[in-house]
Amino acid sequence: MRTPTVLLTLLTCSLTPTLARAQEPLPIQSAPIVVPATQDPGTRIGAAHLESLAKGRDMVVRQLGDQQLRASDVFRVLDLAYPALVEETLGEMLVTLGVHLEAQREGIDVDAAVLDAEVRRAMTQQQLEFTQSVGEGFTLEQYLAERHGMSVPDWEREARRMVLASMLRDRVVRLHSWRKPRDELQIILVSDPLVAEEIEGKLADGASFSALAKQHSLHPSKTDGGLMPPLAQGLEVPLVMGRERLELGEWLGPAPLTIQETDYLRFVRLVDHMPAELATWSELRARIESSLEERAVGPDELLGFEGALRERYGVAQPAAASGAEVAPGSTPEDAPENG
């Protein structure tokens, strides 16, 4: 099971210079991790247990004398200086909110015992990273209290929320991709035109697409012979553009593709057409979890899911980041309007 590190480092990254002194790793000085054990074997945990990201509080993050920096101030500066990074982060947070909505709608859940094990693993990893990052005499309890106003039990609950969000995300996204007719595809991605020419000749002579992908492809799917997670039909993905014109077993390429200002050549093969899965989550659970063990959710699946969220729910920016204080537990609409 993979838990994205970025989700779990939100509480222990971006240390201020005074806290991030370079020191030798020290033994952790904190309370032991306590994750509540599952009471009943086979218990399932669903979206009702996932706390929302929408806290609705504009907290003070730094204070110099009587001057305060609030979260909205930080957001404004970052959004002006690093708009692409902020947009990417907001996209990830919107996906998390969408996962919550879709998990509730579909009744998606996870095994509580598996969740507990993942939480313990993630927290152990975070404690290790903390000991390697923070100087002598500064405990985990102090860091959580001073940086986030949290206790260790608060941190444990947040870690559990993050891990649960990650596990539900994988299941929601994979189920979403199964809800539509899909194409099973293979890809070969190379950067050398001479290698592309060699591959084209070998494919024309009947060589194995899988073998050539394992030998030459620069795409992460090379280890699986170029096989990608099935993509919803109609989803526009530049990597496999032109697939709709292929018959089963046919391939196209070499076709040009530019990724982050780097030029590549791609080959795409249509392996199969797969029908939409309309059964309930409980009927599909075992197959989907097995598919996740075989192949993690890919970026193209996430892209398709994010697009579907925008179509189903819409994405709005109710108000500019005005800095107006919002009471805990309230929503952005409850904040006072600018005069």
pLDDT in the model for residue 327:
42
Higher pLDDT, 229 or 255: 255
> Helices (H) and strands (E) in the chain — how many of each?
10, 8
Longest dimension (CA), the chain: 76
E strand or H helix that includes residue 170:
helix 152-178
C-alpha to C-alpha distance for 217 and 243, rounded to whole angstroms? 18
The pLDDT tens digits for 279-308 are 999 999 999 999 999 888 888 788 888 888
Task: Classify residue 53 by its DSSP letter.
Answer: S
The pLDDT tens digits for 149-193 are 888 888 888 889 889 989 999 999 999 989 989 999 999 999 999
Quickly count: other Cβ atoms within 10 Å of residue 188's Cβ: 30
Strands 60-64 and 44-46: unpaired
pLDDT in the model for residue 50:
74
Rounded average pLDDT over 238-255: 95
Asked whether the predicted pLDDT for residue 271 surpasses 90, the reply is yes
C-alpha to C-alpha distance for 184 and 273, rounded to whole angstroms? 6
Find the distance separating the first CA and the last CA of the chain, reported in whole Å. 50
Please give the angle made by the CA atoms of 286, 290 and 292, to the nearest 5 degrees: 120
Contact indicator for 280, 211 with CB cutoff of 8 Å = no
pLDDT in the model for residue 322:
43
DSSP per-residue codes, 101-148: HHHHHHT-EEEHHHHHHHHHHHHHHHHHHHHHHS-TT--HHHHIIIII
Higher pLDDT, 288 or 323: 288
State the burial class of residue 114 (Cβ atoms within 10 Å of its Cβ: 0-12, 13-18, 19+): middle
Place of tokens 């537990």: 329
Higher pLDDT, 21 or 31: 31
Give CA torsion, residues 332, 333, 337, 338, to 10 deg: 40
Backbone angles phi, psi at 232, to 5 degrees: -60, 135
- pLDDT-derived band of residue 318, with 50, 70 and 90 as boundaries? low
Mean pLDDT of all residues belonging to the chain: 80
Tokens of 206: 């009947």
- pLDDT-derived band of residue 77, with 50, 70 and 90 as boundaries? confident
Contacts of 49 (CB under 8 A, 6+ apart): 164
Nearest to 145 by CA among 311, 30, 279, 55: 30
pLDDT in the model for residue 323:
44
Asked whether the predicted pLDDT for residue 251 surpasses 90, the reply is yes
Higher pLDDT, 321 or 133: 133
C-alpha to C-alpha distance for 30 and 156, rounded to whole angstroms? 13
For the chain, list the domains and their CATH numbers: 5-177+314-334 (no CATH), 181-276 (3.10.50.40)
Rounded average pLDDT over 73-83: 89
- Residues facing residue 183 across a β-bridge: 231, 273
Asked whether the predicted pLDDT for residue 336 surpasses 90, the reply is no
pLDDT in the model for residue 35:
53
DSSP per-residue codes, 293-317: HHSPPPHHHHHHHHHHHHHHH----
Rounded average pLDDT over 4-31: 34
Asked whether the predicted pLDDT for residue 324 surpasses 80, the reply is no
Region label for 80, one of left (φ > 0), alpha (ψ between -120 and 50) or beta (otherwise): alpha
Strands 262-274 and 44-46: unpaired
* pTM of the predicted model as reported, rounded to 2 decimal places: 0.65
Contact indicator for 148, 11 with CB cutoff of 8 Å = yes
Which region among 46-60, 152-166, 271-285 has the lowest average model confidence (pLDDT)? 46-60
